[in-house]
Structure 1
Amino acid sequence: MEPVKVNILAVGRHEEILETVLRIINKSENWTAHGALTDEKAIALFEEQKFDIVLLCGGIEEECEAVLRVTFTEKDPEIIIIQHYGGGSGLLSNEIIHALSKRNSLPNSIS
């Protein structure tokens, strides 16, 4: 039986940066990532499948970020939302690992 992969939705405004983020995440055998350049695409993906983490990349306007956060948490109150500003693959991986470790330490979390 294959282990369940952590499913991550990355939302950003810069195509090249988003592609890099997706490539870094998808290198991990334990993670899988899908990306969206628009709010509409991000919301549609979120409604189509179950995500464990939403990664908000730089360039998202404050108002849009607020709407996304509300939309995602209304649909899934336990969703983990990470703000990612860049800084390389090591930082990105550590942000994801840290968020997952916090989730797994909660009394009602499921590993």
Structure 2
Amino acid sequence: MQAKILVLCKHDGIRETILRLLGNNADWQGIGTNNLFEAKQMLGSDNFDIALLGNGFTEAEESEVTEFVNQHSPGTKTVYHYGGGSGLLSAEIYQALA
């Protein structure tokens, strides 16, 4: 079964790179957005294993997403990824799924 990962990142190029890296793993399905409203809609209506927060959001926006996940999608893990390469990204995801 594929792990569903919602990638929230305001930088289009970085978000697309993360999605490409996720797509290289047959066990992961990545869906991306740069819009908090859209992210909340997706988190509230679909079962994601991970909400992966990338760059570009303010601390208040990150807190808003984390609180929303905790209240409306408690089975979803929140992962903060601010770079560090594909090895770190994989490690963060594997740790969250463990």
* Structure 1: stretches of 5+ with no match in the other structure: 102-111
Amino acid of the structure 2 residue aligned with 1:63: A
Aligned pair count reads 98
Q: Percent identity?
A: 35
- Give distance in 2, aligned partners of 1:22 and 1:98: 18
- TM normalised by structure 2 equals 0.94
From 89, 95, 98, the equivalent of 1:98 is 95
Give 1:36 shift: 0.9
The runs of 4+ residues in structure 1 deviating greater than 3 Å are none
Match of 1:47 among 44, 50, 53: 44
Unaligned segments of structure 2, at least 5 residues:
none
Which amino acid counterpart does residue 21 of structure 1 have in structure 2?
I
CA–CA distance in structure 2, aligned partners of residues 77 and 43 of structure 1: 13
Q: Provide, for residues 50-108 of structure 1, a one-character-per-residue CA deviation record: whole Å limited to 9, x for no partner.
A: 1001101022111111111111110122321011011111110111011112xxxxxxx
Mapped contact 2:7–2:15 kept (Cα < 8 A): yes
Q: Which has the higher contact order (CA 8 A, sep 6+)?
A: 2
Q: TM-score when scaled to structure 1?
A: 0.84
